[in-house]
Structure 1
């Protein structure tokens, strides 16, 4: 029968304990509002602030545009009249005008006042000409009828300005004109109330459109936040489903974003917890199962012990043997539990030829057999020499247990594959009774025995008895720790 152990690759670094002190974490104080509502609230708040800033900016720009247009209309009208007054001639005499009234009448007859604009020609104390309806933005107000305001405008030393009237803000400009012995004043004014009203209508429309957009944004934010937080809700749901005896629940992972990574990390944590729980439970089950028999044997013999020295000596020898077997079982189980840890194997470069020679020397002490080193691989391999030695010596002990004295036990090593995928194979071959195919499939499990374990004592080597069935499980654990495998050929 040939048993092989193959493996390659360094051991992984130990994983630090995230909570070495075993402390109990307490929830920190926070908002009672759910994360979904907080996300929606912040999105709506920032969007609302942006829209408010937009409305204020648009309103300010539109109002500034109305004021600028009113000023431009006044300036344009003054410039046009100044040009006209300097060049105009009476069509009847082909000479410059000698009457201010005629000059103003001629100019105003050629003008069309725009909405909110008023053009007045004033001579003496009377308003002689009105270039438009004179209404500004208020149907009940006429600038031509406001004699006090007209008098103030004529006496104002400034050529232009802003006045508040019953029709709202008025931007005005004036030009003093003389013709012959007469003088007069051209006053042009632009009322901004109509423009302001249009601005307010525009801002109102924008406001309601923005409000509708804000509500739509809130709805979209609610749906998107729910979709983003769905894995977190799944984590919470799975956490509530997990019990101390059932760690199989997992969070469904969708997508590749950060929240999906959180779900994957949570599932990995559950895998580690479940693996640790299963390992602990298996250890307890195995220990209770295997230790029950020697405890029963010890108790039964101690209950029947008598005063006969020979009987007492035999009983104590049997008890000592069973206690030794119990100690060996516990030691093997603890080793298998330790094999689940990432630091079980500590790999380092090892010369394979030196390792094989050392193994042959150590195996000589296992029993009176002809130990034959058949093949030796050369070169360095990253492995844990102590664990490999433990595994190979266990295979050698099995060979001694089920082979007669002076029989051949062959060992060797060889490489399989090439390049970075090359693996080292170490094998032990004996002439034992072998195992069936069914046994070969499970012989490396814990507490599994081949049919050879039931052989009569006269067909086993002297002083050997069947073990607990943990030796080959340890061999496989060591092989697994090296990213390799263990198998048997019969």
Structure 2
């Protein structure tokens, strides 16, 4: 039988907060889940370490208490043996069994403690039990275990640990002998630590249970806190997934002042730069298409109607050449405006402003037959881009030529006004109407009233001047010239005057 597999339709994976997601066919653990896993691992290690250390310390305390009790009981017996006497005769004991009996019948053992008196019987393998006091409920007393008593009685050590099937026994022994004879009896203290150890283990299990509850509580709190902290990160991912070339307006809400808020601010700043770059690109394409369409149409129209007459051909070629030159200037201006978004558009360096002003004046005099005047010069050194400022000033001079007639005055100068360096071009033309003061600095925008003869520009010159001024963190100011006309001033507010003084 032949089967046909259905073709998978590509889909965009939705943003999810599940611990495991699928991305390009690979399983991936989210940052939220990884944070929770590391938190749980560290807490689990810490809580288990605390519980284990607590159990160890409690068991050590049990061992110390048992050793202290064994030492105390044996010391009391030794003291009784050395200083005590027979209660019937009032004299010192002569029989080891009597010492043991007299001491033991007055003792009250602690819980889980046995006090035993043993005596050697000639010819018998097991010692005889003289008397025993004990309080070991639920556990087989040592007195009933002859094998264990024989091991303790015959041991050369004064204390030790006996391991039985019923549990561990800690013991201490004091040998008793008639004066001048070998030991024939022994006082034995035995302690069963199982109950104390079980209490410690019970507390250990309770501590583990509390730790488990704390871990479960941590899972809930940690999951919520991690989700809250990482919410801006998920917004970054969602926003990045939804960004398109047509819509770059989405931004991430910034709350607080922590690292996540700083990440959101950085991402928003990146989107601002990206939006400006795409906007500049679209404006460049739109402006180029808009401005180049007219000369292309003119060139095509003249070529289509061009006849065989030599004079007609010559006129057509001249018109086509003029339109091609105009197209070339438009393209150069558009390329220049496109570069204004680059960080290296302006490269400041120490410049002699007087030399810059003089060069601008010399270059401007070739633009047209006007009454050119060098009004004033700032004899200072400043940080600016010599080439860009010259380009802007020459553009302002060209604009002044286009809006004046031969013989009219155009003044060029530079000065220092407080912290600002100002370079200006003032003409004596008709001036700029108030409603045109703002729009003339926009791309492809001209004033509603032409101040002079119509030029061949595309309305990009003042846009370039504005871009150069803003590249120096300055601005272009438009004022009326005293006596009539317009004065365009580059106000470079961030240009640092290094030395010198205005002249």
The alignment's TM-score, normalised by the length of structure 2, stands at 0.85
Asked if 1:441 corresponds to 2:441, the answer is no
Flag the 1:148–1:114 CA change in 2: closer, same or farther, 3 A. Answer: same
Report deviation, 1:29.
11
Partner of 1:118: 114
Of residues 470, 473, 480, the one that matches 2:463 is: 473
Report deviation, 1:214.
1.4
Structure 2 residue matching 1:132: 3-state secondary structure: strand
Flag the 1:46–1:137 CA change in 2: closer, same or farther, 3 A. Answer: farther
Q: How does 1:336-347 map to 2 (within 5 A)?
A: 336-347=337-348
Report deviation, 1:220.
2.2
Aligned partners of 2:184, 2:398: CA distance in 1, in Å? 135
Of residues 91, 95, 99, the one that matches 1:103 is: 99
User: 2:115 touches 2:187 (CA, 8 Å); kept in 1?
Assistant: yes
Structure 2 residue matching 1:32: 3-state secondary structure: strand
Q: CA offsets per residue over residues 178-201 of structure 1, 9 Å max, x none?
A: 347994221111111111111111
Partner of 1:51: 47
Report deviation, 1:399.
1.5
**Runs of 4+, deviation exceeding 6 Å:** 27-31
Aligned partners of 2:420, 2:386: CA distance in 1, in Å? 15
Q: How does 1:37-436 map to 2 (within 5 A)?
A: 37-123=33-119, 124=121, 125-133=127-135, 136=136, 138-139=138-139, 141-179=140-178, 183-417=184-418, 422-436=419-433
Q: CA offsets per residue over residues 276-315 of structure 1, 9 Å max, x none?
A: 1000100111111111111111111111111111111111
Structure 2 residue matching 1:171: 3-state secondary structure: strand
Report deviation, 1:212.
0.9
User: 2:117 touches 2:188 (CA, 8 Å); kept in 1?
Assistant: yes
User: 1:350 touches 1:382 (CA, 8 Å); kept in 2?
Assistant: yes
Structure 2 residue matching 1:360: 3-state secondary structure: helix
Aligned partners of 1:80, 1:229: CA distance in 2, in Å? 69
Aligned partners of 1:46, 1:185: CA distance in 2, in Å? 54
Aligned partners of 1:363, 1:396: CA distance in 2, in Å? 6
Report deviation, 1:260.
2.5
Report deviation, 1:444.
0.8
Structure 2 residue matching 1:366: 3-state secondary structure: coil
Query: What residue ranges of structure 1 are gaps of 5+ in the alignment?
Result: 1-26
Partner of 1:20: none
Mean CA deviation greater in 477-486 or 215-224: 215-224
Structure 2 residue matching 1:411: 3-state secondary structure: strand
Structure 2 residue matching 1:262: 3-state secondary structure: helix
Aligned partners of 2:394, 2:152: CA distance in 1, in Å? 119
Report deviation, 1:262.
2.3
Report deviation, 1:217.
1.9
Partner of 1:484: 474
Flag the 1:265–1:387 CA change in 2: closer, same or farther, 3 A. Answer: same
User: 2:326 touches 2:456 (CA, 8 Å); kept in 1?
Assistant: no
Structure 2 residue matching 1:403: 3-state secondary structure: coil
Query: What residue ranges of structure 2 are gaps of 5+ in the alignment?
Result: 1-22, 122-126, 481-503
Q: Looking at both structures, which has the greater relative contact order when contacts are Cα pairs under 8 Å and sequence separation is at least 6?
A: 1
Report deviation, 1:54.
2.3
Aligned partners of 2:326, 2:24: CA distance in 1, in Å? 52
Q: CA offsets per residue over residues 241-291 of structure 1, 9 Å max, x none?
A: 211211111122223333332222222221111111000100111111111
Aligned partners of 1:119, 1:130: CA distance in 2, in Å? 6
Aligned partners of 1:148, 1:377: CA distance in 2, in Å? 117
The alignment's TM-score, normalised by the length of structure 1, stands at 0.87
User: 1:137 touches 1:167 (CA, 8 Å); kept in 2?
Assistant: no
Mean CA deviation greater in 274-283 or 42-51: 42-51
User: 2:245 touches 2:278 (CA, 8 Å); kept in 1?
Assistant: no
Structure 2 residue matching 1:414: 3-state secondary structure: strand
Aligned partners of 2:184, 2:359: CA distance in 1, in Å? 131
User: 2:408 touches 2:429 (CA, 8 Å); kept in 1?
Assistant: no
CA RMSD of aligned residues (A): 2.1
Aligned partners of 2:205, 2:399: CA distance in 1, in Å? 93
Report deviation, 1:166.
4.4
Structure 2 residue matching 1:91: 3-state secondary structure: coil
